[in-house]
Amino acid sequence: MIDFSPGLILIFGAALVPFLHGKARCIFMLTLPLIGLILVFTLEPGAYAKIPLLGFELTTMRVDRLANIFGMIFFTAAALTVLYTLHDRDPLQQVAALIYSGSAVSAVYAGDLITLFVFWEISAVASVFLIWARRTERAYRAGMRYLIIQVGSGVFLLAGALFQAAETGSIAFDQFELGSLGTTLIFIGFGIKCAFPLLHNWLQDAYPEATVGGTVWLSVFTTKLAVYALARGFAGTEILIWIGAVMAVFPIFFAVIENDLRRVLAYSLNNQLGFMVVGIGVGSQLALNGAVAYAFCNILFEGLLFMAMGAVLFRAGTVKGSELGGLYKSMPWSAGFCIVGAASISAFPLFSGFISKSLILTALSEEGYLIPWLLLLFASAGVFHHAGIKIPFFAFFAHDSGIRVKEAPWNMLAAMAITAVLCVVIGLWPSQFYTLLPYPVDYQPYTTEHVINQYQLLLFSALAFTWLVRTGLYPPEMRSVNLDFDVTYRTGLPLLTAAFVRTFGPIDQGARRAMLRLFRTIVNHIYRHHGPEGALARSVGAGSMVFWVVAMLAGYLVISLTSF
Amino acid sequence: MTDHDNEQNSGERRYWLDDPRNVNKIVWALVVVCFGLFFADGFYAKHGLFSVEHLFAFYALFGFVMCVCLVLIAKWMRTFLMRPEDHYEPDD
């Protein structure tokens, strides 16, 4: 067993990537996450690799079942994404992706808040290069916004950690209670990265602007790291149920009217995080298992959908619903894998989404939360609507756009195929998968009632979609952007700044002018008396001094004489 | 792959889905399955913990109604949220 954080394998491995070329580099990059994955299975629970720092002890490697399942899926996803991006020889992206994924793994194994903060920030900085690697002005600006927000989330985490250390004397990353300043700041830091409502827009803003492979990388790590952090630190925090329910519902409205299909998936990712956050908020063993299981499965099927849309972007040069359609003729395999991803995210029985999402919904009903449960049910129907139907329908079917391209490269197909197989295997044999979860599972997803209910929900949603499309009520895909909360900082903030300058600019200038005038008056005054010609600064000759002394003595003499 | 490309270049091949009648077949198949699922509700024991789950065909009706609402509300949201594609692009 190793006694260093397993993510370091990817981080230090990344340093060697630029020195390797061709096949050697490909094999090396594929091997790194696979070694990491094997090592995860050798890890024994416990705290290792402790480093003393300023009177505190950093635990850079804390191994338990919760950390391990995230380590496992992070390494698996890294291996699959390396395979998916194998055709791309851009060393910048390769190095950035390995450092990014490695730091996400190391953050998962962090046993204290300072170690968590360090890897949290490294992952933020490394990941922005996957956006900038698109090398367009638009991507540069989106990346800048992403970086500011991600680093900001780390700043909240660090500030929270310092207050927490001052209050409790401990920097351990364990279960927190919301209430103190420290834990509140940590909660906000996690919330930003988890794309809580109103803190969410960096996700939809930045992810679709990244490169073909970059978006797949991003979809795996950043937000799931936040889910892990919430599961570790704030399990059973009731407010998370409501935050999660809102998160699951509001993005689906935007997803329906969004034209960029990778942005549709970004909204869908936000909605999926909502399910996980609800599970964490409920906090029972079943709910936490559900949240973790859903994070695990989501990484695969959401990644698969992002891979399919990446393949479309790679071949057709666009992922806008308004310009696509009929691509199943050119890219039948990609279409097939996309449908598997769509069926999984929609939680069709026999696919991974079904056996993982059920845990959360069941836990929610066991605890009697009716309204959040109804909201999640609505969100489940909605996710089928926009991710399950809309994505494959507008990209691969709908009206034939006439675009004829080659099928995706072999490595993309291989990555999609393996991911699709994993989605189905997990769906078919849930009991084996459940043994990986943090707590023991006693749950049977395949009951007659559950399967029928799920089919009713999904197929009647499909019926609604069909009816709306056929009657022309369904909003057509249009070249457009939709305002979301980011309008506050992309338009509102600059307007506010301009208004501020307009209002306070004249006052500021007036005040400066008045100050300047006053200053000048004072300087002139001083100059008059103390300047070279001033009465108090003039140099006087010895002769005139003698003259004045004599004059004084004469005056004294006159006064003395007259007083008698 | 070569055969496939040739077919594409010649533009001759008609796919099964190119025929609108076949699309109609899929739609009717969906309607039939939904019909079956709706009435299947009378043939199994319900253990749902919420009382709403015991309403007849609750999941089916909920799925249909909520999806229609979702789309119509989203469509209405376009009236005040939609902007031209270059809305955020700088003026220069």
Spatial CA neighbour of A364 closest among A305, A451, A276, A455: A276
Query: 10 Å Cβ neighbour count for B8?
Result: 15
Instruction: Choose the closest CB to A460 out of B46, B48, B60.
Output: B60
Provide the shortest C-alpha distance from residue B47 to chain A (in Å): 8
CA quadruple A128, A131, A133, A136: dihedral, nearest 10: -130
Asked whether the predicted pLDDT for residue B6 surpasses 70, the reply is no
Which pLDDT score, from 0 to 100, does residue A488 have?
Answer: 87
Q: What confidence category does residue B1 fall into, taking pLDDT thresholds of 50, 70 and 90?
A: very low
The phi, psi pair for A298, rounded to 5°, reads -65, -40
Do the Cβ atoms of A134 and A214 come closer than 8 Å? yes
Q: Cβ contacts (< 8 Å) between B74 and chain A: which residues?
A: 253-254, 256-257, 475
- Spatial neighbors of A503 by CB under 8 A, at least 6 apart, are none
A vs B, Cβ pairs < 8 A, gives: 155
Residues of B numbered 5-24 whose beta carbons fall under 8 angstroms of chain A's beta carbons: which are they? 5, 8-9, 13, 15, 17-18
Contact A382 B4 (CB under 8 A): no
Rounded Cα distance, A163 and A398, in Å: 55
Per-residue pLDDT of B15-26, as tens digits, reads: 888 888 999 999
Is B32 at the interface with chain A, CB within 8 A? no
Q: Which residues pair with A560 in a beta bridge?
A: none
Which pLDDT score, from 0 to 100, does residue B91 have?
Answer: 62
Asked whether the predicted pLDDT for residue B7 surpasses 50, the reply is no
Q: Cβ contacts (< 8 Å) between A490 and chain B: which residues?
A: 88
Instruction: Choose the closest CB to B64 out of A328, A453, A464.
Output: A464
Provide the shortest C-alpha distance from residue A195 to chain B (in Å): 20
Contact B71 A468 (CB under 8 A): yes
Contact B83 A456 (CB under 8 A): no
Contact B60 A254 (CB under 8 A): no
Q: What confidence category does residue B12 fall into, taking pLDDT thresholds of 50, 70 and 90?
A: low
Q: Which residues pair with A63 in a beta bridge?
A: A46
Q: Cβ contacts (< 8 Å) between B9 and chain A: which residues?
A: 404
Helix (H, G, I), strand (E, B) or coil at A483: coil
CA quadruple A192, A196, A200, A204: dihedral, nearest 10: 120
The phi, psi pair for A252, rounded to 5°, reads -70, -25
Do the Cβ atoms of A221 and A100 come closer than 8 Å? yes
Is A456 at the interface with chain B, CB within 8 A? yes
The more confident residue out of B12 and A533 is: A533
Per-residue tokens: A227: 């889910």
Do the Cβ atoms of A227 and A107 come closer than 8 Å? no
Per-residue pLDDT of A413-449, as tens digits, reads: 999 999 999 999 999 999 999 999 999 999 999 999 9
Sign of CA dihedral A209, A211, A214, A216: positive
Contact B67 A455 (CB under 8 A): no
Per-residue pLDDT of A351-383, as tens digits, reads: 999 999 999 999 999 999 999 999 999 999 999
Rounded Cα distance, A57 and A111, in Å: 10
Q: Cβ contacts (< 8 Å) between B70 and chain A: which residues?
A: 252-253, 256, 378, 381-382, 385
Do the Cβ atoms of A6 and A71 come closer than 8 Å? yes
Contact B47 A449 (CB under 8 A): yes
Mutate to test the interface with A, among B1, B15, B70 (most CBs of A within 10 A): B70
Is A460 at the interface with chain B, CB within 8 A? yes
Measured in whole angstroms, the distance separating CA A52 from the mean position of its chain's CA atoms is: 30
For chain A, which residues score pLDDT lower than 50? none
Q: Cβ contacts (< 8 Å) between A448 and chain B: which residues?
A: 44
Which pLDDT score, from 0 to 100, does residue B92 have?
Answer: 53
For A382, A461, B78, the CA distances from A464, given in Å and listed in that order, are 11, 5, 20
Phi/psi-derived region of residue B50, left when phi > 0, alpha when psi is between -120 and 50, beta in every other case: beta
Rounded Cα distance, A509 and A504, in Å: 8
Sign of CA dihedral A353, A354, A357, A359: negative
Sign of CA dihedral A188, A191, A192, A196: negative
3-state secondary structure A38-77: HHHHHCCCEEEEEEEECCEEEEEEEECHHHHHHHHHHHHH
Per-residue pLDDT of A440-459, as tens digits, reads: 999 999 999 999 999 999 99
Provide the shortest C-alpha distance from residue A284 to chain B (in Å): 17
Which pLDDT score, from 0 to 100, does residue B3 have?
Answer: 44
Asked whether the predicted pLDDT for residue B11 surpasses 70, the reply is no
Per-residue pLDDT of A192-247, as tens digits, reads: 999 999 999 999 999 999 999 999 999 999 999 999 999 999 999 999 999 999 99
Is A491 at the interface with chain B, CB within 8 A? yes
CA quadruple A64, A15, A142, A85: dihedral, nearest 10: -80
Q: Cβ contacts (< 8 Å) between B49 and chain A: which residues?
A: 365-366, 368
Is A12 at the interface with chain B, CB within 8 A? no
Residues of B numbered 37-76 whose beta carbons fall under 8 angstroms of chain A's beta carbons: which are they? 37-38, 40-41, 44-50, 52-53, 57, 59-64, 66-68, 70-75
CB-hemisphere CA count at 13 Å for A466?
Answer: 16
Is B77 at the interface with chain A, CB within 8 A? yes
Do the Cβ atoms of B37 and B60 come closer than 8 Å? yes
Q: Where are the domains of chain A?
A: 1-217, 235-475, 490-563
The phi, psi pair for A111, rounded to 5°, reads -100, -5
Per-residue pLDDT of B41-67, as tens digits, reads: 888 888 888 989 999 999 999 999 999
Confidence check on the interface: ipTM exceeds 0.95, yes or no: no
Q: Which helix (H) or strand (E) holds B83?
A: strand B82-83
Q: Where are the domains of chain B?
A: 2-81
Rounded Cα distance, A323 and A307, in Å: 19
Over residues B72-91, mean pLDDT = 89
- Nearest C-alpha in A relative to B9: A404
Q: What is the pTM of this model?
A: 0.89
Q: Cβ contacts (< 8 Å) between B78 and chain A: which residues?
A: 257, 475, 480, 482
Helix (H, G, I), strand (E, B) or coil at A205: helix
Is B1 at the interface with chain A, CB within 8 A? yes
Spatial CA neighbour of A380 closest among A350, A348, A351: A348
CA quadruple A161, A165, A168, A170: dihedral, nearest 10: 90
Which pLDDT score, from 0 to 100, does residue A230 have?
Answer: 97
Q: Any idea which residue has 């950690």 for tokens?
A: A161
* Size of chain B, expressed as the number of residues it contains: 92
Is A365 at the interface with chain B, CB within 8 A? yes
